[in-house]
Amino acid sequence: MTSVLRNTEPQEEKARMSQSPDFTTSSNFKAKTATTSAPPMEHAPPTKNTLELPAEEELIMEEQSLYGLDEELEKTLEAIYRDEPKDDCLTSRPSWANKAEYLLAQVGYSVGLSTIWRFPYLCLHNGGGSFIIIYMFMLALVGVPLLVMEIALGQRLHQGSIGVWKNMTPWCSGVGYSSFMVCFVVGLYYSVLMAWSLYYLVQSFQSPLPWAMCPFLNNSSSFDPECSRTASTTYFWYRHVLRTTDEIELGGLPAMHLCISLLVTWLIICISLVRGLKSTGKMLYVSVLLPYIIFVCVLIRSLMLKGADFGIRSLLAAQVPALYSVDVWRRTGNHLFLSMGSGFGCFTAISSYIPRSNNCIMDASAVALLNLLISVTATVFVFATMGYLATVNSEKCYVKNAERVMNLVTAGVLPPELRLPESLFRHMSYTYPRWFGNLPEPVRVVAQPYLSNCDLSEQLKEVMEGPGVAFVAFTEIIAVFAGSTFWAIIVFLFLVATGLSTMQGIMQGIITPLLDTFAVTRRHSTLLTVGVCTSMSLGSFFFVQPAGSYYVNLLDDYWASLPLFVILIVENVSMAWIYGARRFHADLIIILGRPISSVYRWLWSLVSPLLLLVLFVIILIHLYLRPITYMAWNSSISNEVLQSYPPWGKALLGLLTSLTVLPIPVCAAYILLHKMPPPPAGAMQHPDTDFFKGDAKEENQKTRLRLSPGQIKRKTSKFR
C-alpha cells in the first residue's frame, strides 16, 4: 500500500489571496480557474498599484472569451471550488507504482483477442477501408468522450463502478451493479478463449506440429477418413481440441485436456492478481509488452509471404457504398464498444488507483489511438496471411479444376478442346485463367458448370470470423513455415499474453467494486481474490463441454452488446442530463487544472446518447427480424455448416440481458419509494471520496498566479 501526500494548503497562498481586496471572490475564482495549469511565471504579475481597475476588468473579460467560460459555467466552477475539501485527507488506497503500469493496464485491457480475429473479418466483409473510416468517425464522436467520462469518474472518486454511480447519481446507481454482472459473465467465457490458446501453446512444443497432418487410425496405417475429407488444421480444432458436437443441443462431458488448461489459466490469472496492484503491475510488463514484441516479429514475417500484397491491396480498397449502409454502421458501432471495453466498469476501476490530478483526457485519447493503431496493424497482419492462404488455395483450386476437366474430357463428357496442354500445370494460377478465357464461348459455357470459382477475391472471402481465425487459419499458415515449431510457440504465446492482459482488466472491474462496497473485504483482499477466481473458474467449466464453443459464440456475438448499450446509454444520460454535463465539464477543469474544450459538453449531451440510442434500436430490430446463426461442425461431411440457434437461443439472450440490466430499474424504484433526495451539487467533490489531494496540489500549486494577457493568449490558443 502506498502512502498519499497530505493536502496542506500553503500559508503563502492564503496570505496572497487575502491581500487582494480589490477583487471580488468571483473574480478571484475566475482568474484562478482560468490559469490553473499555466507554467510558473518568470516575473511577478502586475498588482493593483501598477494596473488600473479597468485594465483588470478587461483582462478578466479577455480570459473569459479565450476560455469559453460563460456566466453559468463560472457559477458552477465557483460552487465546486467552494465545496472542494480543504482539510487534510489521508487514504490508504493503493496506487499504481508509476504511470507506465497504469497505461499498460488500460491498453492491455482495451486491446483484446477480438482485435485479432473480429476487426479484420469486419474490414473484409464491410467495405475494407470504408469500415475503418466509419470506425474512426464513431471513435471520435462517441468512443473517446465516453472513455474520458469513465476514466475521469474513476480517478476523481477513487471508486469502482458501483461506488462511482452511487456518488454521482443515486437514481442511476444500479448501472454500477449491471456493469459488475456483465463483467462477471464475460469473464466466464473469455477465460475459455485464453484456455484454448494455452492448450495450443503447449501442443506447439512438438515437431512436427500435431495439426500439420491427419492422425492415423488406431492399429492402422490409414488416416482418419473424417480428417481426409477436410483440412488437418480444421479437423484438429473441432475434433481434437473442442471435441465438438454437431449441434448445440447435444451434450456431453467436458474434455479433460480443456479442463486442465482452464484450471491452469485461472491459476495464472489468480497469481497475477493475488497481491493487488503490486503483482498486477509487474505482470503487465510481460502480458502487455511481450505480445507487441512478438507481434512485430510475426507481422514482418507475414509481409514476406507470397500473396501478402494481394491481401493488403484488398484491405486498402475502400468500397464507397459501404459508407451508406445501415448494416455496416451497426456492425461498426457494435464492434467499437465491445473492443474498446467501455461500459464494463473496468476503465473506471483501473483509473481509480491513479492520482486525481492525472490528465484523463490525454490518457483516453492515447488508449483510443493505440487501440485503433493495433487494430489496423493486426488487420494488415491478418490480410497478409489471408492473402497468402488465398493464393495457395487458388492454385489448389485451379489444379482440381484441371484434373476434373481432364477426367471429363477422357470420359467424353466434355469436348476435346478442353484438354489442357502440359505447360499449363507449372503456374496454374496465372496460365489457366488466360488459357480458359481464350477458348470459344460455347466451349466455356459447356465447361462452366463443372468448374469451381478459383478467383483470389472469392478465396479471400473464405476468411473465418471469431476463434477460427487464430485456431484454424493461423495454424494452417504456421504449418508451412520454415521453423514452424518456433513460430507456433511465439504466436500462441502472443495470444495467451493478450488474453491475460484483458482478463486482468476484467477482474479489476469485478474485484475493485467489491473492495470498495464491502469494508470487510478490504481486510482480506487476498482471500477475496482467490475466492472470486475459484468461483469463476467453476462457472467457466460450462463452456468446455462439447457444445461449449457454440455458447461462447452465442454470448460473444449476440448477447454482450445488448446489456452494454443499455449501460452506456444510462451512464451517458445520468452524467449529462441528471448530474449535468456543464457541471461535469467544470469538474474536469478542477481535476486537470486547465481549461477544456466545450465540445465535450455537446458530445456528452447530444451526440453520444443519440447515436447510442439509434445503434441500440437498430441492433434490436436486426436481432428480432433475422435468425441468429452459428458455424457448426458436421461430422458426416467433415465440414462447417451454418446453422440457426434453436428458439430458446433468443429467449436465453433476453433472459440474460434482463437479469444484467435489472439492477438499474430496481435501484431507481428503491430511491423513488424511499424519497431520497438527489445528489448534492458537489457530489464529485465529497470529502469521503476525494483522494490524492496532495498530488493535485503539488502539481498545480505554482500555477495560481495571474498571467499577463500575452501569456493567456499563448496558453489558450491550442484549446480554442
Q: Is position 218 annotated in a ligand binding site?
A: no
Residue 382: phi and psi, rounded to 5, are -65, -45
Instruction: Round to whole Å and give the CA distance between 190 and 193.
Output: 5
DSSP 222: S
Query: At 561, which helix (H) or strand (E)?
Result: helix 561-573
583: left (phi over 0), alpha (psi -120 to 50) or beta: alpha
Collapsing DSSP states into helix, strand and coil, what is residue 446?
Answer: helix
Closest to 238 (Cα-Cα) out of 224, 220, 217, 221:
224
- Residue 401 in marked binding region: no
Question: 94: which DSSP letter?
Answer: -
Please return the burial class of 648, using the count of CB atoms within 10 Å of its CB with bins 0-12, 13-18 and 19+: exposed
Q: Other CB atoms closer than 10 Å to residue 430's CB: what's the count?
A: 12
499 is an annotated ligand-binding site residue: no
List all residues 6 or more positions away from 307 whose beta carbon is below 8 Å from its beta carbon: 387, 388, 389, 390, 391, 392, 456
Cα 115–chain centre separation: 7
Residue 341 DSSP SS3: coil
Residue 185 three-state SS: helix
Determine if residue 176 is labeled as part of a ligand binding site.
Answer: no
DSSP string, 472-535: IIHHHHHHTSTTHHHHHHHHHHHHHHHHHHHHHHHHHHHHHHHHHH-HHHHHTHHHHHHHHHHH
Phi and psi for 95 in degrees, rounded to 5?
A: -145, 160
**Rounded Cα–Cα distance for residues 418 and 401 (Å):** 11
User: What is the dihedral sign for C-alpha 285, 290, 295, 296?
Assistant: positive
State whether residue 642 is helix, strand or coil. strand
Give, to the nearest 10 degrees, the angle between helix 648-661 and helix 663-673.
40
Whether 153 and 168 have beta carbons less than 8 Å apart is answered as yes
Rounded to 5 degrees, what are φ and ψ at 10?
-65, 140
Q: Which residues are annotated as a binding site for Na(+)?
A: 108, 111, 339, 371
Cite the annotated binding site by residue number.
108, 111, 339, 371
